A and B are shown apart, each in its own frame.
Chain A
Amino acid sequence: MSLSLFLEQILNGLQFGIMLFVMAAGLTLVFGVMGLINLAHGSLYMIGAFACAAVAGATGSFWLGLAASLAAAAIAGVVVEIVVIRRLYARDHLDQVLATFALILIFSEATRYLFGSFPLYLDTPEILSGAVTFPGGFQYPAYRLAIIFIGFIVAAGLFWLISSTRLGIRIRAGESDREMITALGVDIGKLYTVVFALGAALAGFAGALVGAIQSVQIGMGEPVLILAFVVIVIGGIGSIPGALVASILVGLTDTLGRTLLPIVFGTFMDNSAASSTGSALASMLIYILMAAILVFRPTGLFGARG
């Protein structure tokens, strides 16, 4: 394998991983602060992508679409939190799983009603449509590079938010001691709504960004959601740094595995068998990674609670 192909795969893995992080950050925050497992997080991702595609299609501006994705997902988050989610905080995880599963059905069908069953296509914005040439002649799509960049900015922003702002202090307090935070006079209901909306906006944002390189369709959120779960399990529930490390790990493992494994198997198998065995194994690689980490650290790399 050539060096440029290898570099390309590393960047693809980073891009995949950092988008997983934007998705997983919201999930892990919501679990850490409110103790809620939210399967409908993938629906918020889908809502972001559809909002972006619809607005970009109508106005011709990807950037307006991106703003719309943030707004739509955040609003959907607030509405869902107020109508359904807040009734679930005190419930057990089983009720949370089922109620948010029901939300997936509702969101998917409503989106299908509004937009039909066919995928929408979202073009990458004009200025990012070309490729960037690195010293040495290696080329990489500008848009993907921009996603990696934006993803790391979002990560940095989140770290800043949690460590240095008033909201962040409340979030950390809420993670460690729920009674204490009420005693401090913080309106916990409002805090929960804000945290949920923040997670929703992040999911919608990721959906819009990824929507431009894949197709925008019903059910696009759930595979990403399950990968985000894998990320959280590896990183440790409630830990933002854990989510970041695990996302990159998962992104790189998956992307490199899909390229490298068939090549590795090709060294001792004939071509077609190598590619089928390699790709079948590659599709399982991140789960094997998860299992291996579980054996050594049942609460994840950065996890404290059991």
Chain B
Amino acid sequence: MRRETWISFAFIVAGLLLVLVAWLGDEPFTITLATKVVILSLAGVGLNLALGHGGLVSLGHAAFFGLGGYAMGILASHAQNYEPLMIGSWAMEGTKSMPLIWLAAMLVAVLFALPIGVLSLRTSGVYFIMITLAFAQMIYYFAISWPAYGGEDGMSIYVRNSFPGLNTLDPIQFFVLCALILAICLILVDRLVKSRFGMALEAARQNPQRVTSLGIDTFRLQLTAFVISAAITGLAGALYADLNRFVSPSMLSWQVSGEIMIFVILGGVARFAGPLAGASVFIALEYFLGGLTEFWQFWLGLLLLVVILFARGGIIGVLAGERRHG
């Protein structure tokens, strides 16, 4: 097995052990922190597909993260207030069922990712970065100025949504649920990037002219990757909102886009466990540095700068001791 595989594996086992210890020692706070890591990793897994494998530097993935969050918030708030959700003249019941909410979150993310992708992929390079950022900002401002669902203040859900057969309010049960989803998505994305589609996507990142000269349509490749990527990040958004029982425009803000990108880069671009390592380190820094100093983001910034200028390949890359594109 390659060294990277071992490191990824060891990393996951260590994380699970930590949660096990926390569970046995009855420390729900640690479990909740671990759940946060898992959900943010999932958002990173989504972005990693577009950014790492597709070379699509999206600085607007907060849009999909937040839309997933709002999908959950809107459905659950209608359910808890017993008000039907009116879409035009068509009425729909809200729901507190997680699987339905997840489906809705992914669907909403896909519906937004399609037009955003079609428009953004007309361009490339630095235009793509700016345009994805701008579209995310558009949705952010819309959420702030649209008063129906809390506007700037966001909205709270009283009770966490339900999953058949589980008590989702129990931290460990919710953790296991989120971890399973992450595992499934990790495996699916891994399969995807190693498929014919994934190879063509990878090739298009490295040399788009070449792929075109083979007769493959790079636009369709990249749009597909962008949309799948958005769906995964949207799912993560729904889980994140469920974890906090709260959704607000801050989930849509450009800082969130930057942070999701940091998970991917800090961990290592286009690496299997990269987003997981990145999100873990990010949350650990937030927790430990945040306990030491109010200005922890200053140190985060410095660390990030050092990683980018000197340690290309991220955490997994440095540990695995081999270069990969970055």
Contacts and interface: CB of A to CB of B under 8 A. Distances in A.
A234 to B, nearest CB: 10
B258 interface: yes
A110 B301 CA distance: 11
Interface stretch (A139-147, A149-157, A179-187, A286-294): A286-294
A109 B297 contact: yes
**Chain A: interface residue count, which band?**
35 or more
Nearest to A37: B126
Contact of B134 (A229, A276, A283): A229
A226 B57 contact: no
A294 B301 contact: no
Nearest to B306: A102
B133 A93 contact: no
B125 A93 contact: yes
B304 A280 contact: no
Contacts of A113: 295, 298
Given A229-B133, A287-B137, A108 B126 contact: no
Contacts of A92: 326
B129 A37 contact: yes
Interface string A106-119: 10111011000000
Interface in B184-236: none
What is the interface of chain B mostly: helix, strand, loop, or mixed? Answer: helix
A295 interface: yes
Contacts of A276: 145-148
B123 A229 contact: no
A91 B190 CA distance: 27
Contacts of A298: 122-123, 127
A263 to B, nearest CB: 16
Q: Give the interface residue-count category, chain B.
A: 35 or more
Interface in B114-143: 119, 122-127, 129-131, 133-135, 137-138, 141-142
Nearest to B300: A105
A199 B172 CA distance: 52
A104 B262 CA distance: 13
Contact of A98 (B134, B144, B297, B308): B308
Interface in B255-301: 258, 261-262, 265, 269, 295, 297-298, 300-301
Contacts of A110: 298
Contact of A226 (B137, B142, B295, B301): B137
Contact of B297 (A37, A97, A108, A233): A108
Given A37-B129, A93-B126, A98-B304, A284 B138 contact: yes
A233 B119 contact: no
A222 B59 contact: no
A101 interface: yes
A294 B308 contact: no
Contact of B304 (A37, A93, A105, A112): A105
A223 B133 CA distance: 11
A255 to B, nearest CB: 15
B321 to A, nearest CB: 20
B122 A112 contact: no
A2 B59 CA distance: 41
A99 B130 CA distance: 16
B302 interface: yes
Contacts of B51: 94
Nearest to B136: A226
Closest 10 CB pairs of A and B: A105-B301, A109-B298, A287-B138, A283-B141, A106-B301, A102-B304, A229-B130, A102-B305, A102-B301, A280-B146
10 contacts: A31-B126, A37-B130, A93-B125, A97-B59, A99-B309, A105-B298, A106-B305, A113-B295, A226-B134, A280-B145
Interface of B: 51, 57, 59, 119, 122-127, 129-131, 133-135, 137-138, 141-142, 144-148, 254, 258, 261-262, 265, 269, 295, 297-298, 300-302, 304-305, 308-309, 312, 326
Interface of A: 31, 37, 84, 87, 92-95, 97-99, 101-106, 108-110, 112-113, 222-223, 226, 229-230, 232-233, 237, 276, 279-280, 282-284, 287-288, 290-291, 294-295, 298-299, 306
